[in-house]
Chain A
Amino acid sequence: MMRFILPFIVFVILAAFLYVGLGLNPREVNSPLIDKPAPAFTLPQLHEPAKLFSPADMKGKVWLLNVWASWCVSCREEHPVLMELARQNIVPVYGLDYKDKNEDAELWLKKGGDPYVLSVSDADGRIGIDYGVYGVPETYVIDKQGVIRYKQIGPVTPQNLSEKILPLVAELQAK
C-alpha cells in the first residue's frame, strides 16, 4: 500500500507548487520600498512650472502618488477610476507625470479631465527610478509619516480600489 501512497503524496506536493507558481503574476515585483520613507524629490508642477512640489509638503496627510503618462495605454483604463475617486474626495491623489512632454500631458488632462490635486513632471524619469517605477501606471499609498505602505502595479481598478487601497487609506487615516 505504501508504495502507492508515497508517490501520490509527492505528486500532490509537486502539483501544489506548480499551481501556486502558475497563479503568481511575474509582472508584479514586490517593491523593496514598502514600509520605507517615500524617496524625496522636488519637481516643478505640471501646470505651473514655477511652483515646486515635494513629498515633504504632504506630512500629516495620507495621499496617493499616481505615476502616469499621456503615452501610457493602461493609464487610459485607470483614468475614469481616478476621476471617480477624485470626485468622492476621500484621499488626495497627486500625479507624477513620467517621461512625458508637458504639452502632451496637459492636452491629455484637458481632454480626459484632471483627477489630480496637482501633477509634477519627471521629464527624464529620474524620480521614477528612485521610486522603482518599471511599468506605468503605478500608484503608491503614502501615510502621514511619509512612509510608502502599498504599491499598486498596473492600473487602479474599482476592484483593487475597494479591496485594498481604500481600506488601507481608511486605516492609515485613522491612525
Chain B
Amino acid sequence: MKKYLLILLFSLMPVFSYAGEAKDMAEDPVLEKRMIGLAEKLRCLVCQNESLASSHAELAEDLRREVREQMKLGKSDQEIIDYLVARYGDFVLYDPPVKKTTLLLWYGPFALLLIGGGVLVYQLRKRKGQIAEPELSAEEAQRAAALLNEPADTPNQPKDPQA
C-alpha cells in the first residue's frame, strides 16, 4: 500500500511543480499572451538561437518580466521593442531592420539571383551563336528534296515503327 502511495505521490510531482507557473499566467492571460507573442520575435542574448519566449536563461526571465511590466504601463509593442534595441542593439530582433549595414543581408540573395540569371542568359546567347545552322552541300540538298518528294507511305509500310 505504502509503495502505491509513493508511486502516486511521485507521479503527481510534475503537477505540483507546474503550479507556480500556471498561477503566474492566470494573473492576466491576455497580457501574458501578448507578452509571449512579442517575445517570440525577440532573441535571447544568452542562448542566441532561442527566442525570448522559449528561453530558460535567467536574463530571458528578467526581460520577460520587464516586457510584462511595460505592457502593464500601457506601452505599445513598438515602444518596448525600441527599449530593448536601445540596450541590446538590433541583435535582439529576429527581423533585422533594413539599414546600411544590413543591405547585403536583405538584398544580397536577390543580387546573386540577378547575377546568376545574367550569366545564364549570356551563356545561352553565346552558345546559340556558336551552333551554326548546318549547311547542306548540293548533293545533300538534292537527296533531301528527293526524299521529300517521295509519294506518301505505302499501306504496308507503317508510319510509326512502333505501331
Q: Is the CB–CB distance between A129 and B46 below 8 Å? A: no
Which B residues lie within 8 Å of A125 (CB)?
58-59, 62
Which B residues lie within 8 Å of A29 (CB)?
45, 88-89, 91
CA distance A129 to B58 in the complex (A): 12
For window 91-128 of chain A, which residues contact chain B by CB distance below 8 Å?
99, 124-126, 128
B interface: dominant SS = helix
Other A-B contacts than A29-B89, A32-B85, A32-B88, 20 sampled, CB-CB below 8 A, are A29-B45, A29-B88, A30-B91, A32-B86, A32-B87, A32-B90, A33-B87, A125-B62, A126-B66, A129-B62, A129-B63, A129-B87, A130-B87, A131-B87, A132-B87, A132-B88, A134-B45, A134-B88, A135-B45, A135-B46
Of all chain A residues, which has the CB nearest B49? Answer: A26
Quote the shortest CB–CB distance from B117 to chain A (angstroms). 15
Interface residues on B, range: 10 to 19
For window 30-59 of chain B, which residues contact chain A by CB distance below 8 Å?
45-46, 48, 58-59
Of all chain B residues, which has the CB nearest A136? Answer: B59
Which of A99, A128, A129 has the most C-beta atoms of chain B within 10 angstroms of its own C-beta? A129
For window 84-112 of chain B, which residues contact chain A by CB distance below 8 Å?
85-91
Q: How many residues of A contact B (CB 8 A)?
A: 18
Is A145 among interface residues, defined by CB-CB distance under 8 A? Answer: no
A interface: dominant SS = loop
Residue-by-residue, is B66-87 near A (CB-CB < 8 Å gives 1, otherwise 0)? 1000000000000000000111
Q: How many A-B residue pairs have CB under 8 A?
A: 39
CA distance A27 to B58 in the complex (A): 17
Quote the shortest CB–CB distance from B96 to chain A (angstroms). 12
Is A31 among interface residues, defined by CB-CB distance under 8 A? Answer: yes
CA distance A126 to B66 in the complex (A): 9
Which B residues lie within 8 Å of A30 (CB)?
89, 91
Which A residues lie within 8 Å of B45 (CB)?
29, 134-135
Of all chain B residues, which has the CB nearest A131? Answer: B87
Which B residues lie within 8 Å of A32 (CB)?
85-90
Pull 7 A–B residue pairs with CB atoms less than 8 Å apart, ordered by A.
A30-B89, A32-B87, A32-B90, A124-B62, A129-B66, A131-B87, A132-B89
Quote the shortest CB–CB distance from B58 to chain A (angstroms). 7
Quote the shortest CB–CB distance from B73 to chain A (angstroms). 14
